[in-house]
């Protein structure tokens, strides 16, 4: 294995790049180089919550928000520290050089401070990528790590590929090298966002991590398919995630295009709540029906990230309020009650 990513440039990649470029142009035209303060906060918190949740952090979105806002949250100390560290690392994104090994080590040091004994240093022992008990990928021999990381950063600096391809390829190659003893996933996703931002600043706020979390098993699958060193499928997957993240951003930013007959959700609500409300429409639907429309499979995640925030915001309510666990329970918009 070398540190230079290997992949085939496909028609699918080219089409996705064109689609993303158009979405970036339209989003930037509407938002400027970055969203307003409220949306930036929403995107950043969502990013932190999703990136840490992918690695097993159990804090809800509301709890993550509380930690970042400095509120007292009852949760395992390690998980609170994971949130604080990730937030601190992402807050440094504007000052980091994506081609600098020193900046990479410094960012990892922030991300894993108090969580790993060798935070900020390349690993000196064997590690692997796991999806639960399943080994997805075994990192390269630790003796090869420094050379491969140097080659990868050199490629990032000099390669002539489109920046979107370079970001996805770097992300995949970084995970295959697995240069740190822990925190590789979080650091790799941070670096991918950093590379994207260098191409177009508005991409620093695109909730790509949220898209990855929603397709977490597919994320692990394409990493597994990349075991041979061919990153083609991984690059296509990550371009799709970026495209979907931009669609979410654009949906949050352009409310005047919503038909007057469609009840609008106030912009202060999280985009997942907006997605839930759009899926619900004027119907009364069960949890299973809603999850099917949203293409979700994790019932716990749906309840924590979509359903509960919408109920707490007073946007939807159950059709059988006195029997919350009824098998006939459905949910409807509060503004659709008769």
- Cβ neighbours of residue 41 closer than 8 Å, sequence gap 6 or more: none
pLDDT at 239 over 50: yes
Domains of the chain, by residue range, sit at 11-253, 271-336
323 or 338, greater pLDDT: 323
- Asked whether 290 and 302 are in contact (CB, 8 A), the reply is yes
Q: HSE-up of 73 (CA within 13 Å, CB side)? A: 23
Class at the top of the CATH hierarchy for domain 11-253:
mainly alpha
Using CA atoms, how far apart are residues 253 and 171, in angstroms rounded to an integer?
A: 28
- Quick one: tokens of 187? 């650091």
Class at the top of the CATH hierarchy for domain 271-336:
mainly alpha
Q: Which helix (H) or strand (E) holds 332?
A: strand 331-333
* Whole-number pLDDT of residue 132: 63
Q: Helices 77-91 and 101-111 sit at what angle, rounded to 10 degrees?
A: 150
| Mean pLDDT (whole number) for 144-171 | 97
- Cβ neighbours of residue 240 closer than 8 Å, sequence gap 6 or more: 16
Residue with tokens 């918009």: 333
Q: Which helix (H) or strand (E) holds 164?
A: helix 163-177
- Cβ neighbours of residue 320 closer than 8 Å, sequence gap 6 or more: 326, 328, 329, 330
* Whole-number pLDDT of residue 269: 42
- Structure confidence at residue 284 as a pLDDT band (50, 70, 90): very high
* Whole-number pLDDT of residue 257: 30
Q: Nearest CA to 234 among 18, 7, 23?
A: 7
* Whole-number pLDDT of residue 266: 40
| Mean pLDDT (whole number) for 19-34 | 85
CA-to-CA dists, residue 5 to 149, 166, 169, 236, 327, angstroms:
11, 9, 6, 14, 50
CA-atom Rg of the chain in angstroms: 21
Q: What is the mean pLDDT of the chain?
A: 87
In this prediction, what percent of the chain has a pLDDT beyond 70? 90
User: For the whole model, what pTM was predicted?
Assistant: 0.72
Residue 331: beta bridge partners?
A: 285, 318
- Structure confidence at residue 254 as a pLDDT band (50, 70, 90): very low
* Whole-number pLDDT of residue 139: 84
Q: In which region does residue 128 sit, left (phi positive, over 0), alpha (psi from -120 to 50) or beta (all else)?
A: beta
159 or 334, greater pLDDT: 159
- Hey, which of 21-30, 159-168, 323-332 has the most confident mean pLDDT? 159-168
Using CA atoms, how far apart are residues 128 and 141, in angstroms rounded to an integer?
A: 11
Asked whether this chain's domains 11-253 and 271-336 adopt the same fold, the reply is no
271 or 119, greater pLDDT: 119
Using CA atoms, how far apart are residues 181 and 27, in angstroms rounded to an integer?
A: 38
- Structure confidence at residue 160 as a pLDDT band (50, 70, 90): very high
């Amino acid at each position: 294995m070398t540190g230079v990513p290997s992949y085939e440039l496909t028609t699918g990649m080219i089409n996705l790049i064109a689609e993303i470029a158009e979405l970036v142009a339209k989003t930037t035209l509407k938002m400027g180089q970055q969203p307003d303060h409220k949306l930036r906060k929403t995107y950043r918190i969502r990013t932190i919550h999703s990136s840490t949740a992918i690695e097993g952090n159990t804090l809800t979105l509301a709890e993550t928000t509380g930690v970042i806002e400095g509120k007292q949250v009852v949760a395992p100390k390690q998980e609170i520290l994971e949130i604080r560290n990730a937030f601190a690392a992402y807050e440094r994104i504007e000052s980091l050089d994506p081609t600098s090994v020193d900046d990479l080590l410094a960012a990892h040091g922030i991300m894993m401070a108090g969580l790993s004994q060798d935070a900020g240093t390349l690993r000196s022992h064997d590690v692997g990528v796991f999806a639960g008990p399943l080994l997805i990928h075994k990192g390269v021999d630790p003796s090869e790590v420094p050379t491969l990381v140097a080659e990868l950063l050199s490629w990032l600096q000099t390669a002539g590929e489109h920046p979107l391809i370079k970001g996805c390829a770097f992300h995949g190659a970084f995970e295959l090298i697995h240069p740190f003893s822990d925190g590789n996933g979080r650091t790799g996703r941070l670096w991918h966002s950093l590379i994207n931002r260098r191409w177009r600043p508005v991409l620093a706020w695109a909730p790509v991590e949220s898209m990855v979390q929603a397709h977490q098993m597919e994320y692990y699958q394409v990493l597994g398919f990349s075991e041979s060193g061919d990153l083609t499928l991984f690059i296509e997957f990550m371009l799709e995630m970026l495209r979907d993240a931009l669609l979410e951003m654009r949906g949050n930013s352009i409310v005047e295009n919503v038909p007057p007959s469609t009840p609008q959700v106030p912009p202060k609500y999280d985009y997942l709540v907006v997605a839930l409300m759009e899926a619900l429409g004027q119907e009364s639907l069960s949890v299973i029906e809603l999850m099917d429309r949203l293409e979700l499979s994790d019932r716990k995640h749906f309840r924590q990230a979509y359903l509960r925030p919408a109920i707490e915001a007073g946007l939807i309510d159950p059709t059988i309020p006195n029997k919350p666990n009824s098998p006939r329970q459905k949910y409807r918009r509060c503004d659709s009650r008769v």
